Structure 1
Amino acid sequence: MIQQLVDHVLAVIKESVKAITTESLNSIIRIINGVSALLLALLPGNAKILEGIHGWELRPTFRGPRLPRWMENGASSFNQFIYELSVDSDNSSFEYSSSGEEDSDRCECPPSPASYSSRASDAAYTKFNRHQMNWIQYILLWILLPIKFMLRIPLRLLRLSYFVVSKALHVSREKRPPHLHAYKRVQSLKEHFIHRATDRRRGVVEDLHLGIEICIESIFDVLHKTAHLVLSPSKAFGALFSLFSSHGNGVKESRNSVEDAPTEKITNYESLNTDARTCQDVITDLGYPYEAIKVITADGYIILLERIPRRDARKAVFLQHGVFDSSMGWVSNGVVGSPAFAAYDQGYDVYLGNFRGLVSREHVNKNISSRQYWKYSVNEHGTEDIPAMIEKIHQVKTAELKLSTPDTEDKIDGDQPYKLCAISHSLGGAAMIMYIVTRRIEEKSHRLSRLVLLSPAGFHDDSNIVFSAAEILLSIMAPILSRVVPAFYIPTRFFRMLVFKLARDLHNLPAVGGLVQTLMSYVVGGDSSNWVGVLGLPHYNMNDMPGVSFRVALHLAQIKRVGRFRMFNYGSASANRKAYGSPEPLDLGEHYGLIDIPVDLVAGHKDKVIRPSMVKRHYRLMKNAGLNVSYNQFEYAHLDFTFSHREELLSYVMSRLLLVDPNSKHQANQMVAKSERNKQGEASK
């Protein structure tokens, strides 16, 4: 009777404490969100800024698995074949599961993108049940640890009891009616695919809720066990005696069961509940092939060239990202919204470049200091990184095409049997122009056939007051800041993890997210890109992330100050003469006439980072130099060129690439060779 009374009292107190703490935390969060909503309403121009954001809404978000944009928008015209194939496989897998066949687990094709939105709730429910069992085991571990310290139970016995209860939970989950097995297998396949393709992060607020609940459960479970020990010591000592007596046999049985258990390969994408997927994970999860190529630059930097390979293709495309970005930007919108997948679906061999500048600091010198690693400017991007990657592409493609067609000796373009086009965004566009101009000055082949520049950097004199203030500060304080701040990045794993978790909270708290979005838009002059959404992308993870060296920022400030697209100014005539052969840095804009391939320039009407007037300046200089150049403008902001699903932009970029026909000369040579063989055959007859 006393034990039941104590149990009821403890249960009531526990639930009361949980309710009070949960509601207190929710009240604090609501106050923060309300104050943010008030500030957001008072800030001028916030509605105009938020109006152009694709996928951003000031409302509570769906708490279940959040479907990515490519699942909600349907199939792209560039991926119609894959879409139709997945629809057929989805229908067949559903018929298979409903019939209850035993071999239904052989279904390997994931469902179509259009089928996910109607079954998201089912997948969320299945995922919740599985995670609920996992958290029961997790809470059990928290309960056993305090008991171990109180009663000084050996660690081996603690592990044994944890294993027995975990095994019991596992067996209870396995006991289900036989006719549901086939259906559950197909459902688990669907849930697995959705889980790998959706958001895996948990925010700081969610971690607080979960941590507080686990802490309260652990404390009251300890109090509950202690009360039982005090009120019924005979039963407690009897249970302990039975546990100690069966200790030896239990350990042996547990070891045997662990040894006999089948091993399963587990891919850990969730490090502390942050999305730690890489570009490789995104590509392979969507069913595309992948290849990673390590490239070493002439000055010893190790950079990653990633590939979606078509080894026998005679047309290739090289995509280069901009500042604070990586190759992830070209695949972040999934199958139907990403330039990389669109190009691959059109038959291209796709290469994704990555600039130097990661927190991991990959270099041939393993002991390189942080100051020495970050000692580079835009010069090194254009004269070291891009040449190394394009030469590696040339080596790979030449070797593969030679193996696939060993009897052919014709070349498509000079000394290469393929056509290579380049698509670049922002800083990548400026580096690509620098690469072509410097290679032509050095009388070396740049191996490119066409250049598509999306909002390219290079001219920045037409910019907002924040950029102007930053340019003045960097120019004046450069000698001091260069020694204190070698680069701009988040230095520790803890703070990177905190930023990613806060990014999830910004999605769950619409007013706070809108306030942050508005403030960031003010900093960049009113650009309506989805800055909050970009913060949550997987390439900004706690293990590694792209950074920007101080010299790159100083180089851009120099370009803005002089109003010309020049290479880096080393600060003295002697240093410039050593690097360029003249006391002044090389003016790239004056050498646009050396560019000998077609160039397509694309600007964004809502782009406030690199305004259309600056892209038009590139166009005028190229046009005056006699280049084959085109100019187009869309109603986009700066990040919309990579991080938003824009079918119109994809159509335009693909139309530019298709202007380069890699097989025209090859087919003509084949026809000539065929006619000659026919003539020789007729003569022999």
Structure 2
Amino acid sequence: MNNIIKTILLIVVSIQLVNCLTVSQEASSSIEEIVASYGYPIEKHSVLTTDGYILTVHRIPFGKNGKTSNNKPILLQHGLCDSSFTWIFNLPGYGLGYILADQGYDVWMINFRGNAYSLGHTKFTDKDSAFWDFSFDQLGLYDTPNTIDYILRQTGATKCAIVGHSQGNQAAWISFLRVAGFSNKVSYVAALAPISTITNMRNDFFNVMAELHVDGALVGLGFQRFLPKPSTLRKEFILYCGLCKRCCATGIEMLVGPHNGPFNDTRNPVISGHEPAGTSLKNMQHFSQIKRNKKFQMFDYGKDNQKMYKQSSPPVYDLTKLPNNLNLAFFYGKEDVLSTTTDVQILINQLPKGVLKHSQLVDNYAHIDFVWSLDANTLIYSKIIEQLKVYH
């Protein structure tokens, strides 16, 4: 009997070790290696912005079934401190990057400036303070429109669709408001957990940072980068997440809130190999400002506003002035503590009449569920695909 028990235990432990080894390999693999391992084509492109940043944009040009006659381009824009990894974190059939490619779309996944995959610049390195002198103002003014222009040049298409998560939507609103003619290049926007103002945000981490002016204190101490990719501790972090999945999830939830939808916990070590991807401290400071000021506005330079904007306070992003030729779809969660239902409703009320084609409140969804939950494919992504067939 003892030998039978020992044999069973040995088999169970062996299976777990094999699973951990597979997951650890993905945690240490590049995004290109992960996507290719599932049989998908993958390309890495470098997009030069007009202010000198070099963005890494990953592309899945088509799905496992091969190229179709008309692979229409779609740009996926990640949220704060995230990366293109978020779209291929889940396995094929569940990750939006794979799903759209299998539906015949040409999938492009941006990495905004300053995350772990976009640390290039024509003049500066990521060790220079000037490199980190950006906030979400610049993501919308340069990163999104420059990437769309690159995609249209590469593909010959006249329009591109956008799927954004969280800050990825903020960048889109800014592009529509500040870049002339940008709306003529975009056929459709699916906004997952859309954000503009964050007045009613209930995330303790962001609330403490804003209320205690932690952002300003860190800037005063000379910090420039927020949550850099900790490559020196990556192996230890992967092991830690493998041994204590709940502990690993708790660390992520502190920043983005809890996940309520069904979640593949075995992927936690993979998350640890790629998340968080980081951003600038100035970007975090900008979020703290709009939380304190209760306005979706440009970066507040204080006494230097007059020099920057020729007025004493930063200009407000007036969403009532969004172009009226947009086709927008909003997907937001009842349990989202970052993009709260109250703030989303404020955003909706500001939109020009007729631009919001679809609005869906998901009862149990929190912020990260829109990109990582296992049932997002049926609850959300299937709706996006239906709308793409109409508007793209």
TM-score range, shorter chain: 0.7 to 0.9
Change (3 A) 1:538 1:276: farther
**2:66 is equivalent to residue 66 of structure 1:** no
SS in 2 for 1:588: coil
Letter in 2 for 1:627: V
CA distance in 1, matches of 2:260, 2:14: 20
Q: Indicate which of 632, 638, 654 corresponds to 2:360.
A: 632
* Percent of pairs with identical residues: 23
User: In the alignment, what sits opposite 1:472?
Assistant: 211
SS in 1 for 2:200: coil
User: In the alignment, what sits opposite 1:325?
Assistant: 82
Per-residue CA distance 1:554-603 (angstroms, 9 max, x = gap): 1111111121211212223xx43454454332322344443521111110
SS in 2 for 1:610: coil
User: In the alignment, what sits opposite 2:294?
Assistant: 563
**5+ residue gaps, structure 1:** 1-59, 68-194, 202-269, 399-416, 508-512, 662-685
CA distance in 2, matches of 1:545, 1:562: 27
User: In the alignment, what sits opposite 1:282?
Assistant: 34
Letter in 2 for 1:347: G
Letter in 2 for 1:284: A
- Are the aligned partners of 1:315 and 1:348 in contact in 2 as well (CA < 8 Å)? yes
- Are the aligned partners of 1:317 and 1:349 in contact in 2 as well (CA < 8 Å)? yes
Q: Indicate which of 277, 284, 290 corresponds to 1:546.
A: 277
**2:200 is equivalent to residue 462 of structure 1:** yes
**2:122 is equivalent to residue 393 of structure 1:** no
Change (3 A) 1:450 1:571: same
CA distance in 1, matches of 2:84, 2:218: 33
User: In the alignment, what sits opposite 1:621?
Assistant: 350
Return the structure number with greater relative CO, CA threshold 8 A, min gap 6.
Answer: 2
Letter in 1 for 2:176: I
CA distance in 2, matches of 1:397, 1:526: 38
Letter in 2 for 1:470: M
- Are the aligned partners of 2:81 and 2:277 in contact in 1 as well (CA < 8 Å)? yes
Change (3 A) 1:523 1:355: closer
CA distance in 2, matches of 1:275, 1:66: 12
- Are the aligned partners of 1:278 and 1:538 in contact in 2 as well (CA < 8 Å)? no
CA distance in 1, matches of 2:286, 2:178: 17
Relative to its length, the structure with more strand (as a share) is 2
Change (3 A) 1:522 1:492: closer
Change (3 A) 1:479 1:569: same
Letter in 2 for 1:303: L
**Superposed, which structure 2 residues align to 1:432-511 within 5 Å?**
432-439=172-179, 442-443=180-181, 447-464=185-202, 466=204, 467-474=206-213, 478=216, 481-490=219-228, 492-507=230-245
**Superposed, which structure 2 residues align to 1:203-602 within 5 Å?**
270=25, 275-310=27-62, 312-313=69-70, 315-359=72-116, 361-365=119-123, 367=125, 369-398=127-156, 417-439=157-179, 442-443=180-181, 447-464=185-202, 466=204, 467-474=206-213, 478=216, 481-490=219-228, 492-507=230-245, 513=246, 517=249, 521=253, 528=260, 536-537=269-270, 540-541=273-274, 546-572=277-303, 575-602=304-331
Equivalent residue pairs, number: 369
CA distance in 2, matches of 1:491, 1:334: 23
CA distance in 2, matches of 1:523, 1:295: 28
Relative to its length, the structure with more helix (as a share) is 1
- Are the aligned partners of 2:71 and 2:104 in contact in 1 as well (CA < 8 Å)? no
Change (3 A) 1:525 1:280: closer
**Superposed, which structure 2 residues align to 1:1-16 within 5 Å?**
none
TM-score (norm 2): 0.83
Per-residue CA distance 1:394-444 (angstroms, 9 max, x = gap): 11112xxxxxxxxxxxxxxxxxx44411000011111111111111xx355
Change (3 A) 1:561 1:344: same
SS in 2 for 1:305: strand
SS in 2 for 1:565: coil
User: In the alignment, what sits opposite 2:7?
Assistant: none
Change (3 A) 1:644 1:444: closer
CA distance in 1, matches of 2:266, 2:368: 10
Change (3 A) 1:484 1:496: farther
CA distance in 2, matches of 1:290, 1:342: 14
- Are the aligned partners of 1:425 and 1:453 in contact in 2 as well (CA < 8 Å)? yes
